[in-house]
Chain A
């Protein structure tokens, strides 16, 4: 039967033996575990998640879930996958966009499980690479376990009680369902277990995680722990976020925007960076998505330098809600064409684009922008003149080099998964929630972030217009929630934050929230059912994995 034992012959196909017979082969599989958080697939049209192309990339999928149903962003185009459903918060188990993140996370889990299985000592000995790799394999395994744990954290945060499977079962095993608390406990135990096996805190390699990333992940896990387990974890949240803050290997970048530019691989602030590269790591998600979906070729042709070729933009499909824009000082809100880098704003984080377009508009339907995403008496419109878009993310270096020759079709801006500024705000919040530490300490943490935003205090520069520091009497939990919006908008934490503050479904409403339709002329938000605090498990997985039960009220 030799004649029937045919093996893949394509140059892009490899057999297990070929992959695992070299050190670099192992590294390539680990790189895939990471790349699953950045790229859609292996290139040449290949997509890890077969049905959803760019929308299935990790950060873009997460963005739809963490940003759309909040006070931050808005999508105009309904492209058949459920973005409107996100805006109006009436998704269901069949909503395509709800499933993208779920499947992306599970693929990452499966990839990590496989890597962990293949890095068992006896397996590596069989492939003959153990000796060469034995000094590194411990760290590799810890990295894969970190990535897997972070996926389970997100599954826990987004979907609640989900399936569970680890490397002890062979590929093909269906996950069995665990409670949300069990998933939480598993993530916690994994992160604590690998904490000391990861790359030490004083080292860093761009694109990979070290010990500090584990501390950061634990901070985020603990800060939200009560939501997942009904148990208070603020003390641990404080301890671990303080560990991040006290680590001197990472520090806030002198200017806020430097974290979101082409050369942000040099930013000292980013603890876990997801690399994008115009030539070597092309993704339709992540920063490529953020820059293109929020821009239009008119913006580039009229002088706003985003570092992308003018056929790249996706026609301003993504906008900001006025609820976010209004969290900034009124003076900081409008866009000033003569100040495209927002140097003349008090808060340098108000990186909005709006206001009048210049140039010849005689043949163009484009009219001056409005801050509002709707026009009085009109329905939700697919019109680029409505709503502000943003320029926080740019494929330009911090020396603001620009010009046509520097424009790229894809972008080279890394996406900051974990950023130290977030650790300051987490620590401050944990303190205010009674996790330990002092109020003064909390105020200092918040002001560290604000001074950097205003180029004041320790971060003073010639661009300073006003002092960003707040006084003790301004500091409270609600302020922190707003400050998190100002600091971290479009960074995929908003939904989790609102839930932690019990403001996601009820008690705080933003444009379009709870409307039955995106076409309604009434854009005023209203309360929604509490079931929306969790996303449903995609209907397909309920169907194809008989071990699973749907989240309450989605059945």
Chain B
């Protein structure tokens, strides 16, 4: 029966099941029914099933073979189970078995594989391993070849020569093609996925640093760009999938943790993550409708062990400790005191008196060796019917800048009980996070710019300045002109911010009795985030002599904010295969989500008398999203796969008449390797073509009430006086009743392939994306038409296209040695097509962006250009020396054939003096490389990522060139980056500061050693050490070109980290 031999079933998770249960699984996914005597399988050993796909035939054989049973297929798809004929003699096909071989089968971690299949090659003679992975097989002669197979592992042939006792180690199938990947509201076999979906298991990736969760994804997925967080302990990275589809609305992908959308990555302990799935194309993300436009990242956290028959399973424990010493590796190259004095006096010969006689390296003063430690302890097991996992984490991260610090504590509890013979399953997750960050100033730039002739410390009468030097003050401490002593601002910072977050998620799914094809699921989640911060400026600290009345009296204040997200989801899933070849998987459901947030900023009060220095403020806001969605997966003959999705979303941000957005998608995939015409190609393990088209929406703007007529009342300090009375004023807020969904349409063409038993595998995706009705916040509106000059509106169109390529290979694989490499590469190009509400606007229409201070913009969004194109003045260089000329720029409108001057002298305010550089901060080419190797108990890993084609504006240098040796008001000498020209005037918009941002980074190298069987055959200890931020290759002259915005204003430099990790399992 051909159909029977092709029929396969999916095992959704690793589980230990009875043979009755195996039959149930088969029944549910196929049309087969079983006929066998009741109690036939009573007291028979259970079977360990690995997550994955298996042929029904194999599964049956696996289940029955050790029980001396056989089966046959009768009419009407009935499978009849019979006792195998016991008499060897009567069975002609059975070869006489004389030699007994015993053995043990396990995975590379030494975990026994229970229920693995061991067959004598060329025969039907086979056995199944027991609970301990032991097996015993009788074979015909001593020189026999055994075939060992196990779901999710690569089948292995073992030549047995005169050995009676063998150990077989199976390798997991690295290609993961049989793996089940999580998609929105469901899951699908990777090889049946129709969309651009990538799945990552952090456990399997060698992790350099686990201090930041985003590190897990860095350089791992084609088209997923992570801009690494800065060196600040409290900083998190920026994540973009295919650069994001929006111009101004959020470009962040949707993050779904355990089914709850809109979560945050950085609040998770990386050790709690089981799996991360990245959905890139519209057909995969459309089920998330309005929030899928920028891609979706689905995170599944770890769960407890399966509990069988209501028995408890003793827990296994895992402790992981990460320690690192962090060192700052680069500072800005500025004048030392002597050079500074010389340059300063050259320029201001009369002003020598303002200089001090110290020699201070301010940058040295602010850095230290940082130290990070992270401890995670987890227990995984099962109580009767209730598998559980409990994890506790603590992280203390002391940054390389003095006093910068983060303390993070996490608790994650997961319970996944099942009832009613596994028909009713619950999954309950609690995730608690507590984070504490002390107040920190950002002294990186001020330390670079501080006058090096000034001392760090100075003593003034009455403890003024608390012992710190104040620039411009006389011996009496009076009249400081600049009190921004970076060391003082670090050391005297008082205050902290605390964040307590709790996420609870309750999921219940019911597989209907008697109608097992249908599963109903309810998922309820609440996430609450409590944030509070306090700040206190000490009396007499330098800043009190510059600000707050210059009286030496400090201030204090506090801020509190709270946000809550509640989500309800209800969906039904129906799975059935008709007539063997039509597999249908349909999901439909409803969700409602509500977001609430409020904040309260206390008044800023004076330390001495609690007098209000600045009044407080508060606010609150809500929004909600309601959706209906449906998806049908149709699999024809296991070759042709179709997915149709439809989602209807209604956002409270839009008016009732524009509120509903409808987001359809469709996808087709063709498993070419199943076709006859490719059957004879050796080595081709898989080949799948994917085509998809879909629409997704976007509504993520800050203003929750953009369509509503509302008023804002004035605060007490902004009232208006009529006669003798101050009246609170009411201003109508600008609104646009017509504001509506931004819609992104994506075409995706993909190819997945694997050869040599999927030892070499890869994917190629090509996409084209159009975004209409771009939502733009605060965009200029026709003056006089509304109550502000700007409005949140739908103004434009954007087009992108891109290519993504990934390749993986297991280069070597033997029992002792394995070496694999992975590479990915992506190209993306976006162009703005329109930026106005109406059609026919001038071609060179642009909107300023890339703020570099009050009313200063260095970038534009321009029609026909890549977003974030730099808009700068074009520097003129000296022909002979090649040096830039002071204050001389090309006239951007210069046309040699007409009149007009070629050069002009610059005024930074004039847009007409700037030109469209055609260079953008968006990264067009991005990729990652990683390799890992294992030799016996040793493992080795190395990760890299790179980007090129983007540009970086070195803003720090633009403000720190020699012209600013003496600052704007002639009061504060400022140090200068001494590799900048001797300019006498501001050149902040010169394209001289625009640099290529290409880089290649070797992110980490790790070496580990695992000791197994620590305590009586159990337990393992892995020790590893490594280096993070090993190497950066770049021509960029600043500290680090990896700046998401493209404007390098000297953020906290990323340190080099020397790491040590111990991971104990018992």
Contacts and interface: CB of A to CB of B under 8 A. Distances in A.
Interface in B711-751: 711-724, 726-733, 735-737
B650 interface: yes
Nearest to A10: B619
A10 B620 contact: yes
A365 B909 contact: no
A305 B707 CA distance: 50
Contact of A28 (B623, B728, B986): B728
B921 to A, nearest CB: 20
B716 to A, nearest CB: 7
Per DSSP, chain B at the interface is loop
Contact of B479 (A32, A92, A301): A301
B550 A310 contact: yes
Given A6-B624, A10-B620, A31-B729, A81 B705 contact: no
A6 B970 contact: no
Given A174-B785, A175-B783, A42 B912 contact: no
A502 B908 CA distance: 30
B124 interface: no
Nearest to A80: B856
Given A206-B724, A363-B353, A174 B782 contact: yes
Contacts of A43: 615, 714-718
A282 B778 contact: no
Given A4-B650, A5-B652, A544-B781, A79 B855 contact: yes
B969 A165 contact: no
A35 to B, nearest CB: 4
A440 B478 CA distance: 58
Contact of B908 (A49, A50, A80): A80
B329 interface: no
A541 B782 contact: yes
A348 B218 CA distance: 71
Contacts of A520: 905
Interface stretch (B39-47, B555-563, B834-842): B834-842
A53 B836 CA distance: 25
B513 interface: no
Given A50-B790, A277-B721, A282-B718, A545 B782 contact: yes
Contacts of B788: 48-50, 107
Interface string A212-224: 0000000000000
B549 A4 contact: no
A32 B659 contact: no
B721 A4 contact: no
B909 A165 contact: no
B712 A42 contact: yes
Nearest to A537: B783
A364 interface: yes
Given A35-B729, A107-B788, A409-B549, A163 B718 contact: no
Interface in B422-480: 472-474, 478-479
Interface string A348-392: 000000000000101111110000000000010011110000000
B909 A11 contact: no
For this complex, into which size category does the number of interface residues on chain B fall?
A: 35 or more
A19 B910 contact: no
A29 B971 contact: no
A83 B984 CA distance: 19
B845 A543 contact: yes
Contact of B778 (A8, A16, A50, A205): A50
Interface string A306-336: 0001110001110000000000000000000
A471 interface: no
A315 B481 CA distance: 10
Contact of A51 (B619, B790, B908): B790
Give the most central of B350, B907, B984: most A CB within 10 Å: B907
A36 B365 CA distance: 48
Contacts of A316: 969
Contact of A110 (B481, B718, B785): B785
A404 B119 CA distance: 97
B722 A29 contact: no
B785 A382 contact: no
Contacts of A88: 907
A28 B787 contact: no
Interface stretch (A252-260, A418-426, A429-437, A511-519): A511-519
A204 B435 CA distance: 59
Contact of B787 (A114, A365, A517): A114
B985 A545 contact: no
B85 interface: no
A230 interface: no
Contacts of A13: 619, 705, 710-713, 733
A383 B785 CA distance: 43
A67 to B, nearest CB: 17
Interface string B701-712: 000110011111
A316 B968 CA distance: 11
Interface in B883-931: 887, 904-912
B865 interface: no
A12 B713 contact: yes
Contact of A24 (B348, B723, B727): B727
Interface string A33-64: 01100110111111011111101000000000
Interface in B307-353: 348, 350-351, 353
Per DSSP, chain A at the interface is loop
Contacts of A545: 782-783, 785
A53 B594 CA distance: 33
A14 B787 contact: no
Contact of A92 (B594, B712, B905, B912): B912
Contacts of A95: 909-911
Given A4-B650, A4-B659, A173 B721 contact: no
Give the most central of B710, B731, B735: most A CB within 10 Å: B731
B274 interface: no
A25 interface: yes
Contacts of A301: 478-479
B782 A281 contact: no
Contacts of B622: 6, 9
B785 A11 contact: no
Contacts of B785: 110, 165, 171-175, 545
B336 to A, nearest CB: 22
Contacts of A96: 855, 909
Interface string B273-288: 0000000000000000
B621 interface: yes
Given A281-B719, A315-B969, A315-B971, A365 B712 contact: no
Given A7-B708, A107-B788, A364-B472, A383 B620 contact: no
A96 B619 CA distance: 31
B721 A207 contact: yes
Contacts of B4: none
Given A35-B729, A360-B474, A543-B841, A97 B714 contact: no
9 contacts: A4-B652, A28-B730, A43-B716, A80-B854, A83-B909, A111-B731, A175-B784, A316-B969, A546-B840
Interface of A: 1, 3-16, 18-19, 24-25, 27-29, 31-32, 34-35, 38-39, 41-46, 48-53, 55, 77-85, 88, 90, 92, 94-97, 102-103, 106-107, 109-111, 114, 163, 165, 171-175, 205-208, 275, 277, 279-282, 297-298, 301, 309-311, 315-317, 360, 362-367, 379, 382-385, 409, 516-520, 538-541, 543-547
Interface of B: 348, 350-351, 353-354, 472-474, 478-479, 481, 546-550, 592, 594, 615, 617-624, 626, 650-652, 656, 659, 704-705, 708-724, 726-733, 735-737, 778, 780-790, 836-838, 840-842, 845, 853-856, 887, 904-912, 968-971, 984-986, 988
Given A281-B719, A543-B780, 17 more contacts: A3-B626, A7-B708, A11-B618, A28-B727, A43-B716, A43-B718, A49-B789, A81-B909, A85-B910, A88-B907, A95-B910, A206-B721, A315-B968, A363-B472, A385-B970, A543-B845, A546-B838
